[in-house]
Structure formats: structure tokens, C-alpha cells
Structure 1
Amino acid sequence: MIEKLRKNVEDLFEAAPKTHRAYELKEELLSNLIDKYNDLVSSGKSEEEAFKSVMSGIGDVDELIKGLKDQDVLNYEEIQKRREKSALVLSVSVGLYIMSVVVLLIFNEVFQVNEVISVSLMLTIDAIATGLIIYNAASRSKYIKADDTLVEEFKEWKSTTNKEKELIKSIKSIVWLIILALYFIISFTFGIWAFSWVIFIIGAAVEKVITLSFELRKYKNE
């Protein structure tokens, strides 16, 4: 019966563009259908009843395929505007991170300002940049399903997954920018260039911890 499900999904996606993204969406949808089918069988329904129930609840696949052709399940123009806004926010954030290090060096080396003040100023600028990145990731629009069909549930799930990926990416970017800033601060302050590179190894470990944390949270939610 699983093969029958796969064949039906293959038929539904026959008009979809032959792209890697279309293939991934098809496989993800099929996986959701199989999970739904197995749940129904486990609850006592016969294989045929479960199959019919799953297929009847799929919904409008044509709209999903149209979304594939537009390169997203959401409105294409909206995606373009969102990308432009995201690029602007990230560019400003990166500029602020770089500027914070420059400010630290100028205040310390040129104006001989107290290190506590200069570091505090740098951290303030970094905090603003970090806030912008977090806002950029958290403010992304979420797809609201129009009904309870599997296609609509799939679209909502896909939108949430993409948003989570963007959030993870933003957090990792923040971590590495902070690591880079700390590298320069420690190196310039203590003059230990021969050893300060170790902080990048720590950064790699932190990145793995972040990834693992999100994976564990996803596992618990399931």
C-alpha cells in the first residue's frame, strides 16, 4: 500500500518542474502521507480505509505545484521583498559588528580611552547588531493554512521549517561574529596572537551545540 501511495504522489507531481527542490517537496509530502497512513492503520483502520482517508485529505496539490513554479509556496513578490529587507538588515548588522571592532581599536590606540568604556561601547554596538539579526529572523511571515487538508498542513509545516532554518542560520552568524570580535579583543588586549586562535575551535564546538539543541527540541516536539 505504501507503493500505491508513492505512485499516487508521483502522478500528482507529474506536472511539477523537474528540480531538486520539487523532488524534496514531493518526498517530504510523501513522508507526511505515510506517517498519516501508518497512524490510521495503528488506530484500527484497514489498509484500504487508511489509504482512502489519506488520499481524500490531501487537498489542492495544483496550488502547491504552482508555488513550486514560482520558486516558493508563498507569493513570489513577497519573497523578493523579504529577501531584500533581510539582505539590508544583515548588511547593516555585519557593518555594525565590523564598526564595533574599529571603534574599540580607535578608542584604545588613538584616543587612549579607558578599556572598560571602549569595550562597553563595542558591546553596545554588537548588541544592536545582534538585535537586528534576531528581529530579522523572528519577523518572517508564517504561512497560515486555509483548511485542514494535508497539503495545507504541509505548507504550514514547510513555512515553519524554513523559518527555523533561517533562525538557526542567524544564530550561527551571530556566534561567529562574536567569536571574531572576541578574537581581536583578546589578541589586542593581551597580545597572545599565538594562542588566541583557539577561540575558533571553541566557536566550532558552540555551533555544533546550537545545531544539536534544535535537533533535540524537534525530537521532543515529535
Structure 2
Amino acid sequence: MYEKLNREVDELFKNAPKTSRANELKEEVLANLIDRYNDLIAGGKNEEEAIKKAIAGVGDIDELIRGLNKSDVFNYEQLQKDKQKSALILSISVGLYIMSVVVLILCTSLFDVSGEISVCLMLTIDAVATGLIIYNANSRPKYIKADNTMVEDFKEWKSANTERNNILRSVKSLVWTLTLIAYFIFSFAFHGWAYSWIIFFIGFAVERVVTLIFQIKE
């Protein structure tokens, strides 16, 4: 029986590239088929019916094979566009955070603007930058499964994993930008250049905590 399932998987992957990634996916599909087969047998199906239903639950394996050849199961061009859009928004956001510090320094040092107004201007710019980051995190399209097959499960997981990694990178970028802002504000406000570098250690600790939270959640 397991030999038959093995032959079926060999047939499904006959056009797959000879790579370690393809072999890993093939082994994963076979293990999933065996689990489904055993569940169906336990549910009262005979051997032939269980094999047919288990194979039918795989879905469009050809799309996964094409994905292995292209290094992705999604629309590569669209992924590139989304990635470029996300990078542009994050770059603008980081630039705004840095610019807010420059505005604060210029207002207080060169233009004699009151400290309250200067801080309000800085926080306004920071709010715009934060809004852009939140928009970027929530505007990415989420994958919706077309059916309950193994291929669709894999594509949904891949999409969620990519989105989680993008959010983690955005949060890390935000942590270090805010760390830099805090460093300049503290140094200029309290003239603490000799010891304000400690803020960077705090920023590193916050980054590790954020990474750990994402890993625990995953």
C-alpha cells in the first residue's frame, strides 16, 4: 500500500527539478498522504477508496512544480512590485523619522522656535511616518485558499510566513529609527554625549525582545 502511494508521489514529481528543496517537498507530500490514508482507513474506507481520496486531496501539484522551477509558487512579477512598493514606503518612513530630528534641531538652534512647538512639529512628522508603516503592513494582499487541498494549505502558509517576516523587518527598522531619534534628542537636550550611547544597547535589547516575541508566536 505505502509502495503504491510512493509510486503515485513519484509520478506527481516526475517533472520536478532535481534539487534538495524539491526532494523535501516530495517527502512532505508523501508523509501527508500516508497520514491521510491512515485516517481514511481508520474511518472505515477500504484501501482503494482511501488511496483515491488521499491523492485527490493533494490538489494542483503542477503549480507547485512550476513554483519550484521559479523559486516561488506565486506571481513573481507581482511579488517584486509589492516588495518595491513596501521598500519605498519604509524608506520614506525612515527618512521622515530622521527628518523630524533635523527639524527639531533646526527649530530650536537656528530659528529660535519654542521647544513645545518644535517637539509638536517633530511628533507630527513621526506620526505621518508611523501611519505609513501601519498602512504598509495592512495593505499587503492576504492569500485566500481556493479549496482545502494540500497545495492551497502550503500557499496559505507561505503567504502568511512572508507577511510575518515583512512585518518583523518593519518593526526592527522602526525600533532602530526610534533609537536613533532618542539618542539625538537625549544628547542635544541634556548634553549627554558621553553616555547617551547606552541608548543603542537598549535599542538592541528591544530588537531582541521583538524578535523573540515573533518566534514564540510562530
TM range (shorter): 0.7 to 0.9
Equivalent residue for 1:170? 170
Given the superposition, is the C-alpha separation of residues 69 and 32 from structure 1 closer, same or farther in structure 2, using an over 3 Å criterion? closer
Equivalent residue for 2:112? 112
Greater radius of gyration (CA): 2
Farther off after superposition, 134-143 or 163-172: 134-143
Equivalent residue for 1:78? 78
Q: How does 1:130-149 map to 2 (within 5 A)?
A: 130-149=130-149
- Normalised by the size of structure 1, how large is the TM-score? 0.79
User: Would you say the 8 A contact 1:134–1:170 is kept in 2?
Assistant: no
Q: How does 1:152-191 map to 2 (within 5 A)?
A: 152-191=152-191
Structure 2 residue 55 is matched with structure 1 residue 58: no
What letter is aligned with 2:123?
A: L
User: Would you say the 8 A contact 1:29–1:154 is kept in 2?
Assistant: no
User: Would you say the 8 A contact 1:2–1:34 is kept in 2?
Assistant: no
2:42 aligned to which of 39, 42, 45 = 45
Q: Distance in 1 between the 2:140 and 2:206 partners?
A: 25
Unaligned runs of 5+ in 2: none
Matched residue SS, 1:144 = coil
What letter is aligned with 1:89?
A: I
- Normalised by the size of structure 2, how large is the TM-score? 0.80
Deviation for aligned residue 1:110: 0.5
Give the total of aligned pairs. Answer: 214
Matched residue SS, 1:193 = coil
Deviation for aligned residue 1:155: 0.5
Matched residue SS, 2:42 = coil
Equivalent residue for 1:205? 205
Q: Distance in 1 between the 2:145 and 2:208 partners?
A: 33
Farther off after superposition, 205-214 or 155-164: 205-214
Unaligned runs of 5+ in 1: none
Deviation track 1:176-219 (CA, whole Å, cap 9, x = no partner) reads: 1111111111111111112111111111111121122222323x
What letter is aligned with 2:151?
A: V
Deviation track 1:16-68 (CA, whole Å, cap 9, x = no partner) reads: 44667xx1x7646755764685587589839x96x946544211111112233
Given the superposition, is the C-alpha separation of residues 144 and 120 from structure 1 closer, same or farther in structure 2, using an over 3 Å criterion? same
Matched residue SS, 1:146 = coil
Equivalent residue for 1:88? 88
What letter is aligned with 1:203?
A: G
Farther off after superposition, 27-36 or 126-135: 27-36
